[in-house]
Each structure stands twice: as structure tokens, then as C-alpha cells.
Structure 1
């Protein structure tokens, strides 16, 4: 990414205010907590303590805005307490440059490693290090340092208390995640009417699953409509796909296809109604036309075989979704006939209840976080390289700021720590946004200070106003957010009597210095995602292969619809897919190229692997019951899929074209034994076709050429190990 492009994209995204993402009430609550703690601190202790407590409350409020499914009070308390500890330890070593530099390096390295536990922990830890560089300069004695640290804890407690006393859309994020998943299913159903093999992005389902992991305390108060619907949405997706796909369903055109389109449209309407009900906590309002379509007995006379089974299962799942969302489906006036798709197959209510996914409490999270950080202590890890890089930059920035005759040298390392991320693209854009926003914020705050010459009280009020605007705009772009942050710091330090000329000029220069150091660090010690694309692709291939093998194996060993191993393999395949997509997105903005995998080949490979997972999902929708006749040949095919995809992944990493001879042999043997169910055999054939398409996508051998009037043949790919 060039500087010009980065400036254009950052300006476009950073200056655009997305009204749908604004949360004014939550921003007002955070600003009110900040105003409360500043007012009390000013009255009781004076401007210096008020500034420290304001930083604690400010950081605690930012923690509650992070994309996390944990209770917001816990995040506020953890943020305020960790900042207080950092400030106190920093003050103890602040008078000794080398000792403080050692503490800064250790703290920064741990903050860099903390990204292994997730972006929420990484952002909070990085912010604590950055703010610590400022707050350690405020106390004047050991007792004062302890008092400042205590007030930071109080600031976190105030923000936590406000979240408890004034809840705004309690469970709102969880409701949105589940509603988004149901709405995505509804959109998928409508798209399948026109494109029977339409793709589906599983990210909404993954977000809903992440939101469903709750702490034991949350489990006691979770609304009833948030129970079970996510699991039902997961089951609906393969049923929708199998109902629409001509390979295992009905012909592309004709009376049966028209009926399938009607059912898909009705399913989309019902899922949309359930999504609206969950999002707003209201009763479900079912469109009468959709309900009539699902209750009609004509389906049994039109659909047969796998299509009829899928329609029947879909009707049962939709009824369960409506019951879970809070409104039972109206029962038909007459006894349902066996031919109605709304007649569910016999099931118990426990089948629709999701097993609670418990999230560890904050104290229990510490060992897991330490294990994750320890697992990243290897040179090839992007997180470890980020930790080393940000530590070196912070130390170098602190030393340069200390030696330069500018004063307030902490601005350089603070800017570096705040902008640096484990990947290049985010760091680059954030560095541009931070410097641009800093210039805007400093200029506006400076001009206001010069014109109005505010005292302590007015400076505090302006700081609270800037913080409130930052809370409001922080999700709409980095330029706007950083401008508010810059103005907030200027007003907060001005509240303590520091004139703008003591902070603004050096902050501009040192912020630029911190951004330049961050860019140099990536040039000297990069962690590019581009060279790892083949590894990410290989990981996805293995995960998809294991998922497909787990599904196929259950045709040889029928176990009913409840198959934990299939579910686990599906989740792993989704994680691998998201890891690949994230890697491609990051690599797109990196100034390096991967000679072994072109963009076209990467796009084709992504499409084929998505199709591989989709075929496995179609087969999962028709898993046999426990009393079904086993298909012994399916076990051999499952073994061949596992072994071949692992060998194929090795070939992908080594820039060879994978081969699928073992899968092809297993299918030939299967055909010799006979296949009792056309769905499973058709699905198995589609698996092989998709794998062969993957080999074609990765085959970079030049096409046949005419040499002296004779067409040369393409050299066959090297056999896999």
C-alpha cells in the first residue's frame, strides 16, 4: 500500500460518519462517568489527581466499547485496575531511566504477546502501556503515586457501576449477533430461489456462536429467546442448501422446482420475522402467506425422496425457531397430514435446546491467556514478531524522546504503541490516521485555548466533551477518533496548568517520529502474511477434508442427526476459512508479492474449497438415522479423504499440484459394490470433482502451445507423496 493510497482510504473511512453505528446513549454514559470522576477528584484532590483518575475512567469506558461478549462491568474493572498497577510500577522506576526503560520494554512485550488472547485483550493492554507513559509523570511522591493509582481504580469502578445502574440495551450485542445469523439465513433462502448453489458466508453464524458463550453469571439472566435459536439456525442452513441444490434435490425447472422456490421464500419470511423479534425483544409476527405455504398439504404430492425429506425437516426446524423466539406457531385447525412439510418429524423439546457454552470468568481466563501467550513464543509467530517489534520501537522512541530537547518525550513511544498491530495494513493505516487526526485535534484544541484561555473547570468540561465525542465516533473512523483523543489530552493536561506551548509542538513532532519508527520497524523486521498464504490454504484444505470425511464416515456408521465429531470438524473448517480470508485481506495491502500463488489462483482455490465444504454440508443434511443400512464403502472413502487431503495440503505448501488417486480408487470400489442411496453417492462424486478443480486452480503449468504447427502437451503434475 502506498502512502497516497493509505491517505485516501484513511480519509474516506475516517471522515465518514456512519449513523447506524452511533450509540449516543452509551457515549453519554461513558462521558457522564468521566465527568463524575473528574468533578469529585478536582474538588477533593486537585488537578493532578483529577487527570490521573480521568485517564483511568477514560480507559475503562473505552474497554466497555470493545467487541467482547463479556459483561461490560468486568472489562471496566479490569482496565482500570491494570492501568493503576502499570502507573504505580512505572512511577517506582521513573526516576531511573534504564530501570524504567526495562519496565517499559517488559510491559510492552507482554502487551504485544497479549494479542494471542484476542483483540480485546490486546487493545486494552496496549492502551495501558501508552497511557502509563503519560500518567507516570503526574505524581510527585510515592504516596501520591499510590493515590493516583487508587483513583484510577475508582475511575474503573465508577464506569462499571454506571453500566450496572444504567444498562443500555442489555444483551443488545448478543441479540444483534443472533438476529444477524437468522437474517443471514433468510437472505440465503431467498438467494437460493434464483441460484440453487448460491454461496453462504458463515461469519454471522460464527459470531452468534461466539456470543452464545457466556459466563456463569450471565447464564442466570440470559433472556429465554436467546436460548437454542442459534443451534436451530445452524441446522437450517444445510437443509436449505439440500432442498435447493439440483444435485441432491429436484430438477432445475418444473413443478417441483416451483414448489421449492415457494418454500424457500416462505422460509426467508419466517426467518426474517424471527430475526426482528429477537433483535427487538418483541413477539414474532409471522406473515400469513408464508405460514400458509408451509402448512399446505400439497407438498407431499409434489416433492418426493430427498427433497420431500428436506422440506419436512425444514418445516420442523422453522417451527422450533418460532417457538424459541417466543411465539408458538399457530396450530392448524385440522389434524396435520403426513404430507405436510409443517408436520415435524418426532422430536423432543430437548432437541432444540442448545447446550450452554460457558465462558470462563476473568480470574479463570488468566491461565488460558498465559498459555496462549506462551504458545506464541516462537520466531515464526506473527504475534511474537509483533511483540518484539513494538518493544524495540517503544524503547527506541522513549530514548529518542528523552534525548531530544523537546520535552514530553513520551509522545513518541505512546504513538508507536497505540498504532502498531500484529499485521502491516492496520498499522500503516492507523499511523496515517493517528497523525492526521492528531494534527486536527491539536489545532482545534490549541485555537480554542488561545482564544478562550479557559481555567481548570472549563478545561475539564472541554476534556469531557472531547471524550464524549470520541466515544460516539470511535467506531466510524480513526481520523475522527484520534482528533478527539488529541484534543482530550491537550485539555486534560491544560486542566493541570500546562500551557499548550508545552505540549502541542513536541507532540506533533514526536507523534510523527513514533509513526516513522513503526514504519521502519516493519521494513526491518516484517511479518508479512503474503508468504504464508499457501500455508493458510493448506490448513483450510485439511480442515475441509476432515469435515467431509467425518460426514461420509457416518454413512458407514449411522449415528442419527446428533454427531459431535461432525460438528467439531465443521467449526474447525469455518475457523480455517476465516483465517484464510483474513490472511488474503491483509496480504492485499502488503507491499510484497507471492510468486508461488497468483491472485487468480488464490481466488479459484478459495472458490473450490468453499464448494468442498458446501458439498460436505449437503451430505450432512441427509445423514442416516441410527437404524439405517450402513454403507461399508463410505468408511474407505472417509479414510481416503483424510489421507489425501493431508497429502494434498503438503503438496500445496511445497508448491506442487495435489493428486487424488486414493479418493478416485475408493469411489471405483464403491461403485462395484452398489449404492443404496443416490444422495450419498452423488455427494461423494461431487467431492472428487471439487478436489480435482482445486488441482486445476493450483496448476500453474503453461497451457498447451503450438510449436512448429504441433500442439505440445501439458506436463502432468508431479505426484503427491
Structure 2
């Protein structure tokens, strides 16, 4: 994509407005919490204290709107503590010549590295940086600095208190994540009717697992209908794939394929019904096609009945759907048995996550890391913008570094779309709020009231678009700082100009020192290939040694493979928006090769999903040679992933030899049975996948024999 096309796309994305609004009640609750802090602070301690308290309450409230599955109370408290510390240190440093720019650079670097913990941490950390710039203007004494820091922390504490006494939609994020998983499965079932080799989106499953990881408090208060359903959804996915696949499920054509399509359609309706019931906490409604979920209906002919592995997959699918319905329906506790699907997932308290967070940051402390490069870029831009404003003697110079801090993100698309949106939103917000100030000449109390109204508007438009939300935030800041003496018109002009300066500096900095996802696609592909190979080896290993079924190895490998695939898909999505040609940064693999290789690794993963749907019981007879082939598969995919990373040829000749030996061993042993047939069919699909991968990434030489 050219630079002009990329800039046009990011401008369009940044200025796009949706019709979605945040829950008005939640927006009102956040604004009320700010009002509870700022009005008493203004009455008791004056404008400066009110500014600190309002900033703390606003940013802490913003943290409660982030996409997180932690209790909102803990998010508000954590944000308040971070704001209090940043404000206290900022006030101390501003009184020491040369100390504040150093602190600013260090804090900006830390805010950038916070993205290694997660997006929510990165956003909140950037907000603490902006608050430090806004409230820290004049040197004060240590007690006064401590007072301002405590006021910021108090804002977070009040937000937490209001969330506690005024709860609403406490489990909305968890419900939506679980409902999205079932809705995704319903869509997957419908696509399988037409395309038996379709892939399922891994993102809903990843989010559902994160949502099901609970703190001890959440585990005690979770709605009972949310327990157990995620584990069932995990097992529905391979059952759907195994029923639809023509190699290990229903035949490609004929009455059995028609019957399989009926079961898939009925399953999709049942899954949609479950998704609606979970999302809205309403009773489960029976589906119109429920009779199709009966394998031995009297009107069925013997020819139309599913047989063999397809029949077992359908039985397993129907059993899981009925179990999910029974799990959700808690009205008759005597007849409903909630299945136990593994141990509960536990989320430790925030203070216990400090070592884990530090380890995540340490892993990213390397020059090649995108997060590290973002942190260095953020620290440099914010510090340079601050010093430039100081050298020019601009009174409101903090707007330039504040804009840079709020705009910059680790990837191109977010940085540029947010940059253009913030520039437009700031100009509109400052212009409108300044016009109101000029027309009404509001006093301190009315200015604070208008600021609280703008905060409510910012919370309400969080999902509408960054430009509109920025307009509300800019108006809020203008009204809040308007309670102090100054010239409104001159101040507005300075703020708009400095916002333009900060935004342009941030965008230029990213253009000069970019972090292109395009250059990392081969690395993400290699990580997914290695993870998919471990998953395949774990599943095939169970066929060779059925006693390993309950070891948890398959589950862990599946999660790793799913996470690696999701990271590759996200990298591809970001790379598509970048103004850079792939060949300029990764000459070994073209974008077309990466797309073909992604399809091949996807076939490998799908083959293993089919095998997982037919895992033998722990006391079943082992499939001869499956364990040895599984070990060779792990080794071959790991070596291939390393070859992708270093730009060498990918060669699966050793794996082909191992597969031929396995086939010969099965033939010599005369092994029979459904497990053997499924394992052999899965093994052939695996070999087809690695052959496709070999062709996709081949750089020179003839096609290997047997591919």
C-alpha cells in the first residue's frame, strides 16, 4: 500500500463515527463519581486541588471502561494509585532544575513498556503521563506535592466506591465473551454445511478463556449459568469439524451428507439460542429444528443414517449441546447435573501480578521488540515536545507532549488514525468550549459543572469514535482549566496550535522510526508452525499412548497454537494497513508466500482438530507407531520453524520417510478399528499440509518427491 493510500485509510478510520454508545447509566455513574470529588475539592481547597482531583477521577473512570475481565473496582483503584504516584513525583521533580524532563522521559518509557502487560495497561499508563503533564505546572513543597498526589488517588478511590455502591452490568464483559464464543460456533456450523474445511475464528475462544479466569471474589459471586459452558464450547468445536469433514466424517455426497447438513443446521440454531440466552440472561428457548438433533428418528432410512466416525461425532455433538442447555437451565436443581470441565481458572489479585508483569516487561526489553521500540519512540517524542515548548516559552506548552503521549501506539494504523482523530477532535472541542466561555463567562462552579457534563459525554462516546470522544475530553480540559485566571481566547489558540505541533511530531516520529508488522510476519508464521506442530504431536501421541489423554498436554498445546495463530492474524491485519512493500523488509518470503504458508499451517491445525474429536479412551488399544510419528512431527515442525526464521529451506523429507514407515508398520500389523482409520486419515492430512507448506515457502530447487 502506498503512503497516500495508507494515510487516506487511516484518516477515514480515525474520523469514522459509529452509532454505538456506551451504556448511558454507566456514563452517568462515571460522571457522578467525578462530581463527588471535584465540587468538594473546589470548595475546600481551591482550583488547583479541584484540577488534580478531577483528573484523577476522570482517568480512573476511564480505566473502568477498558476491555478487561477484572472487577471494575480494582481497575479504578489501580489507576488511582498510578495517577497519585505520577502526580507526586512530577510535582517534586518540577521544582528541581532539569529533573522534570528526565522524570518525563523515564515515565514515558515505562508507559510504553506497559503495553507488554496488555492494551489496558498501556492505555492507562499513557493517561497517567498526560495527567502528569497537565497538573504539574509550578514547583511546590513536598507536603503540597503529596497532597496533589493523594487527591489524584482519591479520585480513583471514589470511582471504586461509586462502582461498588452503584453496580450495573457486573458480568456484562464475561457474558458477552461467552456468548460471542457460542455465536462464533453457530456461524462455524453454518459455514461447514457449505465448506466442510472451513476454519473457526480463534479470537472468541481466547477472550472466553480470559473472561473465565476469575479472582477469588469473582469465583464466589459468578452467576451459576456461566460455570461450565466454556469447557463445553471448547469440545463442540472439534465435534462440528469431525462431523463435517469428508475424510473422517460424513461422506462428501449422498444421504449421509444431507443428514450431516441437517444436524449442522440444527446445531447452529441451538448454539444461537444459547448465545442469546447467555448474553441477555434470559431463559433458553427451544429451537424449531430440535427434532433434527435425533440420530435415530423413526422416519430415517438406514441409508440416511450416519455411520462410523461420523455417527460418533454427531452423537458427541448432540450430547454436548444437550449438556450445555442443561448447564444453563438452573431452574430444576434436582434433575440438572452441572458437568465439571477441568479445574477452575484463577486470576490472582493485582498486587500478586507484579512479578508476572515484571517478567512480561523483561521479555520485551530487547531492541527487536515492537513494544521496546514503541517505548523508546514515546519517551523521545514526549521529551522533545516538552523541551521545545519550554524553549519557545509557550505558557500551555504541555499540550504538545500530552497530544503525543495520547496519540502514539505500537502500530502504524492506530497511531495515525488516532493522530488525525485527535487533531480534529481537539480543534472542534477547544473551539466550541472556548466559544461557550466567551459567550457565558461562567464562574468557577459553572465551569466545573460544564466539565463534568463533558466527562459524561466522553464516557458516553467511548465506542462512537475517538474524534468525538476527544472533542468531549478537550472541552472538559478547557472548562476545568478555565476556573483559573487567564485569557480564554489566547489560551484556546495556544492549545490548538500546540495540539497540532504534538500530533505532527508524533506522526513524523513514527514515519522516521517505524515498527512495521510486515517485517515480522515470517516470525509470527514460524511461531504458529512450531505451536501447531506441538499440538499435532500431542494429539497423535494420545493415539499411540491412550493413557496420556488426561495429562493436559493436548490442552496446553491447543492453547499455545490458538494464541500463536491469533497473533499472526492480528499482525497480518496491521500489516495490511502499512505503507510498506513486503519485499523491502523481508526479501526471503513474499506476502503471497506467507498467505499460502498460512493456509498450509491452517490445514495442519484443522487436521489435528479432527483427530482431537476422536481421541481414544484411556483404556483403548494404542495405534501402533503413532507415538513415534508424533515425536518426529514435533521435531520436523520445530526445525521448519527455525528455517523460516533464519531464511533457510524448509525440508520435510525426514517426516515423509517417518510417515511411510508408519503406514508400513500399520499394514504389517494388520491394525484395524475406527481409531486406526481416523489416525491414518489424520496423518495423511498432516502430510498434505506440510507438503503445501513446503511448496509455499520454497525459494529454489525442484518440488520434493512425494509432496
Deviation for aligned residue 1:502:
4.7
1:266-323, Cα deviation, whole Å (9 max, x unpaired): 1111111111111111221112531563375457951111011111111211111012
Give runs of aligned pairs for residues 287-326 of structure 1, distance below 5 A: 287-291=287-291, 293-294=293-294, 296-297=296-297, 301=302, 302-326=305-329
CA contact (8 A) 1:56 1:152 kept: yes
Matched, 1:197 2:197: yes
Deviation for aligned residue 1:62:
0.3
Separation in structure 2 between the aligned mates of residue 163 and residue 2 of structure 1, nearest angstrom: 47
Matched, 1:669 2:661: yes
Matched, 1:634 2:637: no
CA contact (8 A) 1:112 1:383 kept: yes
Separation in structure 1 between the aligned mates of residue 625 and residue 40 of structure 2, nearest angstrom: 75
Give runs of aligned pairs for residues 350-365 of structure 1, distance below 5 A: 351-365=339-353
Match of 1:152 in 2: 152
Deviation for aligned residue 1:651:
2.3
Give runs of aligned pairs for residues 71-110 of structure 1, distance below 5 A: 71-110=71-110
CA contact (8 A) 1:73 1:161 kept: yes
1:90-126, Cα deviation, whole Å (9 max, x unpaired): 1111122411111112211111111111111111111
Matched, 1:689 2:688: yes
Give runs of aligned pairs for residues 83-482 of structure 1, distance below 5 A: 83-137=83-137, 140-291=140-291, 293-294=293-294, 296-297=296-297, 301=302, 302-326=305-329, 351-482=339-470
Separation in structure 2 between the aligned mates of residue 150 and residue 500 of structure 1, nearest angstrom: 29
**Range 72-81 or range 561-570, more displaced:** 561-570
Match of 1:48 in 2: 48
Separation in structure 2 between the aligned mates of residue 570 and residue 139 of structure 1, nearest angstrom: 55
Separation in structure 2 between the aligned mates of residue 309 and residue 269 of structure 1, nearest angstrom: 21
**Range 126-135 or range 554-563, more displaced:** 554-563
Unaligned stretches of 5+ residues in structure 1: 333-347, 702-714
Q: Secondary structure of the residue that 1:265 maps to in structure 2?
A: helix
Deviation for aligned residue 1:468:
1.0
Match of 1:679 in 2: 678
CA contact (8 A) 1:232 1:352 kept: no
CA contact (8 A) 2:18 2:465 kept: no
Distance 1:469 1:261, change over 3 A: same
CA contact (8 A) 2:444 2:483 kept: yes
Q: Secondary structure of the residue that 2:289 maps to in structure 1?
A: helix
Distance 1:519 1:2, change over 3 A: farther
Q: Residue 557 of structure 2 is aligned with which of 545, 564, 569?
A: 569
Distance 1:21 1:537, change over 3 A: farther
Separation in structure 2 between the aligned mates of residue 64 and residue 212 of structure 1, nearest angstrom: 18
Q: Secondary structure of the residue that 1:59 maps to in structure 2?
A: helix
CA contact (8 A) 2:239 2:613 kept: yes
Match of 2:640 in 1: 648
User: Cα RMSD (Å) of the superposition?
Assistant: 2.4
Deviation for aligned residue 1:325:
1.2
CA contact (8 A) 1:529 1:587 kept: yes
Separation in structure 2 between the aligned mates of residue 517 and residue 86 of structure 1, nearest angstrom: 24
Deviation for aligned residue 1:620:
0.7
Deviation for aligned residue 1:525:
3.1
Distance 1:135 1:45, change over 3 A: same
Match of 2:504 in 1: 516
Separation in structure 2 between the aligned mates of residue 109 and residue 507 of structure 1, nearest angstrom: 25
Normalising by the residue count of structure 1, what TM-score does the alignment of the two structures yield?
A: 0.91
1:558-616, Cα deviation, whole Å (9 max, x unpaired): 13754511111111011111111111122222232222333322222222211210111
Separation in structure 2 between the aligned mates of residue 690 and residue 328 of structure 1, nearest angstrom: 47
CA contact (8 A) 1:456 1:497 kept: no
1:405-433, Cα deviation, whole Å (9 max, x unpaired): 32122112111111111222221222222
Deviation for aligned residue 1:186:
1.3
Q: Secondary structure of the residue that 1:474 maps to in structure 2?
A: coil
CA contact (8 A) 1:456 1:495 kept: yes
Distance 1:300 1:45, change over 3 A: farther
Q: Secondary structure of the residue that 1:630 maps to in structure 2?
A: coil
Matched, 1:598 2:597: no
CA contact (8 A) 1:10 1:478 kept: no
Separation in structure 2 between the aligned mates of residue 628 and residue 545 of structure 1, nearest angstrom: 24
Bigger RCO of structures 1 and 2 (CA < 8 A, at least 6 apart): 2
Q: Residue 493 of structure 2 is aligned with which of 490, 500, 505?
A: 505
Separation in structure 1 between the aligned mates of residue 481 and residue 609 of structure 2, nearest angstrom: 58
Separation in structure 2 between the aligned mates of residue 20 and residue 229 of structure 1, nearest angstrom: 28
CA contact (8 A) 2:517 2:574 kept: yes
Separation in structure 1 between the aligned mates of residue 175 and residue 415 of structure 2, nearest angstrom: 32
CA contact (8 A) 1:239 1:313 kept: yes
Q: Secondary structure of the residue that 1:19 maps to in structure 2?
A: coil
Unaligned stretches of 5+ residues in structure 2: none
Distance 1:620 1:292, change over 3 A: closer
Match of 1:489 in 2: 477
Match of 1:62 in 2: 62
Separation in structure 2 between the aligned mates of residue 10 and residue 23 of structure 1, nearest angstrom: 27
Match of 1:619 in 2: 611
